Amino acid sequence: MKKKKVNLRDIDPKEHKGEHSHDDGHNHSSQEELSNFRTYLPAIFSFVLLIAGIAIDYFDAFPFFKGWIRVVWYTVAYIPVGFPVIREGWNSILKGDFFTEFFLMSIATLGAFAIGEYPEGVAVMLFYAVGELFQNAAVNRAKRNIKALLDVRPNEALVYRDDDFVSVNPETVEIGEKIQVRVGEKVPLDGILLSDKGSFNTAALTGESKPDTIAKGEKVFAGSINLDGVIEIETTKEFKDSSIARILDMVQNATARKSKTELFIRKFARIYTPIVVFLAIGLTFLPYFFVDDYVFRDWLYRALIFLVISCPCALVISIPLGYFGGLGAASRNGILFKGASFLDAMTKVNTVVMDKTGTVTKGVFKIKEVVNTSTFAEAEFMQYLMAMEEQSTHPIAKAILEYKADGADLEATEVSEVAGKGLKGTVNGKTVLVGNKALMTSNSVEVPSETDSIVESIVMVAIDGKFAGYVTIADELKEDAHQAIKQIREAGISKIIMLSGDKDSITQQVAKELNIDWAKGGLLPEDKLNEVEELKKQPETKVAFIGDGINDAPVLAASGVGIAMGGLGSDVAIETADVIIQTDQPSKIARAIKIGRSTRSIVWQNIGLAFGVKVIVLILGAGGLATMWEAVFADVGVALLAILNAVRLQKMKWKDS
């Protein structure tokens, strides 16, 4: 079967604006139908002539249908489907590539004509043409999936310039500019929501059909569709760095990265084809020296059958198509594989190592508990603490400042930072200390012993030299964190490990809550890398690491499969990783494993089907027990079945356990 490379860069995004009038859509549809009819016309013409010829032969309806009339009839039936293949074979020979499937099919069918097997010669080439039509339909379907993704690429942005919103190309919008998005329009660039709230369809980015409601100050991603009211966004990335541009680039580049299986089959086909040709020549002439009743025509016929059966079409077409389907299916589920090789690698993973913050937790600190031991009311106690924390840029300070305290805001003065300990200042005429136990101890403040058993991050407060209370700060688990660990285990992963830069007590608490096998906290980036390198030294251990931060980049690069959280994750982590979870949901890790396994399963089904049927019919053909019709099935029929099997990936659904 004819090898076709699907180069996604050849798909012109200008042709897919996503906004067509009804008439334009109708004209486009009519032109496509006409084009499809013209494509099928040669095969239909040959099929009608072939069936008519076979019927006349069988019923002997027309006595004159003999000799040169019969030859001309089948020749006319052969030309529409045979000439394009012969031309391709000839062009390949001119380029120095003799042993192609075109060459095999041309020799086999012309040989069939030479020994008078006209219907079989036409049938082989006709079914070859039908198989190619199926192949083209499958490839075009895959292309349409990518075109649908291209449709979500925004082509204009309403940016606020010179006291008005003007329409410009998204590529010209700079970071920090304000853009407006109306109902039903696509968000053109990544940014922060300036409006109070917004509802978005993020299906193109995440594969999730449920609308996503976002509050003021939260991230909005390019390619999302605004569902409710006019909103305003402050851009945080240029168009070329936006989420949708990144997805498109990854999907386009993924097809260029072949799996080892795919590369092996291509190399195998180039060695296999000339071997088949020489074996066919041997099958034609060598029996002359060993068989008493040697008949050249009979052995030539067997050799022609051998050539037809041996054509490696099913392998060289269905295997790349299978991987292509797997990549497309993953992207529709919010999972981006950077190449077919990582689909294969995902199937071999038996140990999952994960970061904590931003991977299984939200990476957003919240006040968990307020303990006030002072004479002040809680609201006033918190006013003192918040006045001090307003002077800090630490993430914990941000969490404290989100507390809603009644009463007038207080202001801190003479604030100084005590390195590694906290803050010292004056609030409402009182000396205030805010920080850790070391800060309290160094200022002779007695701290209750109960604080020693607290696992979470703790911020202590002293007012005028007396311990006034504390707040505990914790990072929230993601909604699907428990489900993610359960599904990873059900996917057959034998060991789950957590490595975190957060303090060990917090890491151990989260690991225990999620039922993770082993955990270690307080790690620097190089410590995480060393831990993974030690794991890799163990025989049969295949490691996947999941992370999201810049500090995870070294270990993402070193692991067997690096998986990055694509929404919250840093650009460095995303660039380094092999797989991107666009939804930031750890539960998608198990689905990525399932998609990889389904893809590999279908690829190996096709390899087994192709080789199994071909070997059986080759033996029958060499022994004179199979005709050209069985050869047609062994070649074209198996190729069709393999293509249809590969297409299943584009329809397959993977349910969460």
Helix (H) or strand (E) holding 545: strand 543-547
Residues annotated as catalytic (active site), given as ranges: 355
Contact 282, 183 (CB under 8 A): no
Q: What are the residues facing 656 on neighbouring strands?
A: none
Q: How many CB atoms lie within 10 A of CB 191?
A: 25
Distance, in Å, from the CA atom of 269 to the CA atom of 315, rounded to the nearest integer, reads 8
Residue type, 324: F
Contact 507, 521 (CB under 8 A): yes
Contact 243, 223 (CB under 8 A): yes
- Find, among 481, 475, 477, 476, the residue nearest to 588 by Cα: 481
The 3-state DSSP class for residue 415 equals strand
Question: Alpha carbon of 476 to those of 226, 361, 470, 480, 508: distances in Å?
Answer: 28, 5, 19, 11, 15
- Find, among 419, 448, 447, 423, the residue nearest to 435 by Cα: 423
Classify residue 186 by its DSSP letter.
B
Q: In the numeric block, which tokens belong to residue 209?
A: 């059909």
Question: Alpha carbon of 552 to those of 353, 509, 522, 573: distances in Å?
Answer: 11, 21, 14, 6
Number of H helices, E strands in the chain: 21, 22
Helix then strand then coil, in percent of the chain rounded to 5, is 55, 15, 30
Contact 375, 526 (CB under 8 A): no
Contact 428, 406 (CB under 8 A): no
